[in-house]
A and B are shown apart, each in its own frame.
Chain A
Amino acid sequence: MSKASRFFTLTGIAAALHSAGAAAAMEWNFQTPATKNAAEVSELHLVMMVIILVIFVAVFGVMFYSIFAHRKSVGHKAEQFHENTTVEILWTVIPFIILIVMAVPATKVLLAVRDTSGSDITIKATGYQWKWGYDYLRGEGEGISFMSMLSTPRDQIENKAPKDEHYLLEVDNPLVVPVGKKVRVLTTATDVIHSWFVPAFAVKQDAIPGFVRETAFRADREGTFRGQCAELCGKDHGFMPIVVQVVSQEKYSAWVAEQKKKMAAAADDPNKKWELADLVARGEKVFQANCVACHQANGKGVPGTFPALDGSKVVNGPKAAQIAVELNGRPGTAMQAFGKQLSDTEIAAVITYTRNSWGNKTGEAIQPSEIAAARK
């Protein structure tokens, strides 16, 4: 294949145009491949384009010649032939042969892309409305687990602030993987179907609620690679990017150590007694990160679609009912089971926040221990 593509001067032209930088504003070709698979897919596409171009010129050369030469206005008289068995058999058989020629490399590349065996690290990517959760399941970094959310400020989206370079393609916690190691990604989802898409790796795998699917990549250079959710998943489908940082082995080991330390430090003491004000302050952060997309910053929700929390019967009623909704979600709606995503402290804080914000004034402070009890 590489021979073939060297032969096709188009490669050179494409590369030249690409590096001439058709600047960031006008990307028109594949992102520069960062895996062998992506390079092969790109080459396969190029070979296809060349074959197509040849057929295109042949067929429409004939058509446009005919348009030019067989016009009534130049006095061309119509002939009346309307079949020719030889020709008809030929143009059935020749395309068939061309297709076989295409199918051979296409099959090879597909088999390579689908090979997820022999991985060094296994990571589970879980799609939520509208963020990604990553769990390092096997290999170096096992046990690391975090959420990855869009970090572009709302002001940029609403055109109140200038957009930065990686507008909509930046997250708070990127996925970090070592260069040259085979990473197997297991995808799943909790609510609706999402799709984990990183163009530079030629990886796109749907994340299907209740099922686990797999894909794999082996990045051959360091760098930051950006993609987006590729399956319509509701309102903020356009706002759940994927960012993968490929780093050297040393940096990766350092990152793992740092994550482990952070996780130990971040684990809140579940038995701590919190003051109301502290809970509300912590809860507001949790609310901004997880709830605001639907229930809105003013707690009014979106009438008919996402219920208001301000003045809600559940939020102002007995706390056990609200804790249950928060932990288990409401099946069939966008309200997720946050019990799987948030810690006891976070849930206690966000519930306390909602019960003491806007018009809601219950004055109650929900303690993490109550959430722990409710989980049982």
Chain B
Amino acid sequence: MSAVLDQHGHAHEHHPSGIMRWVTTTNHKDIGTMYLWFSFAMFLVGGFMAMVIRAELFQPGLQVVQPQVFNEMTTYHGLIMVFGAIMPAFVGFANWQIPMMIGAPDMAFPRMNNWSFWLLPPAALLLVTSLFVPGGGAGVGWTMYAPLTVQQGPSMDMMIFAVHLLGMSSIMGSINIITTLLNMRAPGMTMMKMPMFCWTWLITAYLLIAVMPVLAGAVTMTLTDRHFGTSFFSAAGGGDPVLYQHIFWFFGHPEVYIIAIPAFGVISQVIPTFSRKPLFGYASMVYATASIAILSFIVWAHHMYTVGLPTAGQLYFMYATMLIAVPTGVKVFNWVATMWKGSLTFETPMLFAIGFLFLFTLGGFSGLVLALTAVDVQMQDTYYVVAHFHYVMVAGALFAAFAGIYYWLPKWTGRMYNETLGKWHFWLSIIFFNLTFFVQHFLGIAGMPRRIPDYAPQFAEFNKISSIGAFGFGLSQLLLLYIVVSTIRSGKKAPERPWEGADTLEWTHLPTPAPYHSFEKPPVVK
């Protein structure tokens, strides 16, 4: 191993500059940076689509876009946010942080790391340009249910290939993360000494390897149904449209945790730091995360309570789904117990972490409501579900990503962000987020279906409030862009230990900013 490290050592000073530095780089920090910028760019694209959706829904009647375009916007907004923004953001965190947190010089497979990033831009290009091919984009919903997908034009095929590329990228990234975590920990760092963020990514990476091929299978079956005369999802040829949903959600439910679990990891670093107190119940945190991951494989059909499953099946999926509340509850209790009798300060990362804790738990509560089959039948495919998953995805995953960005930005850039502006970003985000999504619970309960471009007058008021909230939330995110850019360009120099409560290796054993090559000699962990 040391011989290999030495070879790397000699190559240090010769890395190319300019654009080729980024194209050819095998450095985990460069790749992490590219992942994060890529995801931010996609976040803006997907966010723009959300603005179109909310503008159309601002009042009853068709004003901004026609129904077909509206369907395209909801579809691409979902796909871009899930696969283009949130997932790559956390892979970016993994690339930057995992080697530094376990005392490794880089990821286990640096070249594969480069490749797994560079698959993303072509995938994004395929996806976005598919909006402009003859026939327009595929307005099928991000879930891409058959047989609606069979009716679409060539954009559907481009979407399928984009999903293939994204899946390959995720699988390679996961192999890299697992190998790094299992083989490259510094001497003395046992598995149960790994920072929680590393544990969450280890578990997430296994989830990704397990379910990405399933998604690839589902979309490939759609592709062959479209072009090669198969009938996987067509009753006329002996298939079943519901089969698609089973396959999709066998991927789709673990996918929810693929997004949420790394977010748990970030929060588990941030809360102890600003509580100046070790994470409460580390071991139970690890077991709870693993339990959530395992349970996520056996609850998929709770997304399908209205397809006509047998009653026994519905009962089973209801009980199994409710069970997830137990390990999730353990995590929430552990975070609160970590804060209990700490010495709390409320810098921006901590604010976002508390915002996460509060709103993610609300999303968990509405999830519990949806778990009950009889109630879910009322809520399925209404705005209640839209509200629920935005509490989990935006207030959950996205807020955790914001927390992570503010938390590690000093380590990455060597400069401090503007604390006042950071706090503004937090308060604007949390207020507008709730304005946008809290009222959607009411819309859903009152019976407004999701994915409709126009609605009956009794839904008008809440839709207006929701749209105003969405515009505010969208604009607030430009503040994040400004904060990050101004930090990189002209932020105050960060102190060596900007957070006094931080005790993981990247803070205790590396200078700030982290050097281009870190831990060429592994530290010894006691």
Contact = CB atoms under 8 A, between A and B. Distances in A.
Interface of A: 24-31, 37, 40-41, 44-45, 48-49, 52, 55-56, 59-60, 62-63, 66-67, 70-73, 76-83, 87-88, 91-92, 95-96, 99, 102-103, 106-107, 109-111, 113-114, 156-159, 163, 165-169, 191-193, 195, 197, 199, 202-206, 208-211, 213-214, 226-239, 302-305, 331-334
Nearest to A211: B235
Nearest to B373: A110
A203 to B, nearest CB: 8
Given A25-B461, A106-B318, A82 B282 contact: yes
Looking at chain A's contact residues, is the secondary structure mostly helix, strand, loop, or mixed? mixed
A37 to B, nearest CB: 8
A343 B436 CA distance: 48
The residue in B277, B325, B378 that gathers the most chain A C-beta atoms within 10 A of its C-beta is: B378
Interface string B234-248: 111000111000000
B150 A168 contact: no
Closest 10 CB pairs of A and B: A210-B235, A238-B452, A304-B135, A213-B308, A199-B447, A28-B442, A304-B134, A27-B446, A78-B343, A82-B278
A238 B315 contact: no
Contact of A167 (B60, B133, B330, B374): B60
Given A63-B336, A71-B345, A239 B378 contact: no
A213 B309 CA distance: 9
A136 B451 CA distance: 30
B33 interface: no
Interface residues of B, number: 98
Nearest to B276: A78
B380 interface: yes
Contact of A60 (B67, B358, B375, B459): B358
A41 B375 contact: yes
Contacts, number: 305
A81 B346 CA distance: 21
A209 B455 contact: no
Given A30-B445, A208-B241, A232-B148, A83 B342 contact: no
B308 A206 contact: yes
Nearest to A60: B358
Contacts of A82: 277-282, 338
B480 to A, nearest CB: 24
B68 interface: yes
Given A67-B354, A71-B346, A83-B284, 6 more contacts: A28-B442, A67-B344, A70-B275, A79-B277, A163-B60, A193-B145
A209 B135 contact: no
B61 A156 contact: yes
A191 B147 contact: yes
Given A59-B333, A106-B318, A230 B381 contact: yes
A209 B461 contact: no
B452 A237 contact: yes
B124 interface: no
B381 A110 contact: no
The residue in A27, A44, A45 that gathers the most chain B C-beta atoms within 10 A of its C-beta is: A27
A61 to B, nearest CB: 10
A228 B457 contact: no
Contacts of A24: 457-458
A248 to B, nearest CB: 25
Contacts of B280: 81-83
16 contacts: A24-B457, A25-B457, A41-B378, A48-B372, A60-B361, A67-B339, A71-B346, A81-B280, A83-B281, A88-B330, A167-B60, A214-B308, A237-B451, A238-B449, A238-B451, A305-B135
Contacts of A95: 325-326, 329
B419 to A, nearest CB: 15
Interface string B428-465: 00000000000000100111010111111111111000
Nearest to B376: A204
Interface stretch (B86-94, B108-116, B136-144): B136-144
A63 B357 contact: yes
A206 B61 contact: no
Contacts of B462: 26, 28
B454 A157 contact: yes
A98 B461 CA distance: 36
B325 A99 contact: yes
Interface string B48-70: 00000000000011110001100
B447 A91 contact: no
A56 B346 CA distance: 22
A76 B377 contact: no
Contact of A236 (B67, B449, B460): B67
Given A165-B457, A199-B378, A62 B308 contact: no
A359 B446 CA distance: 47
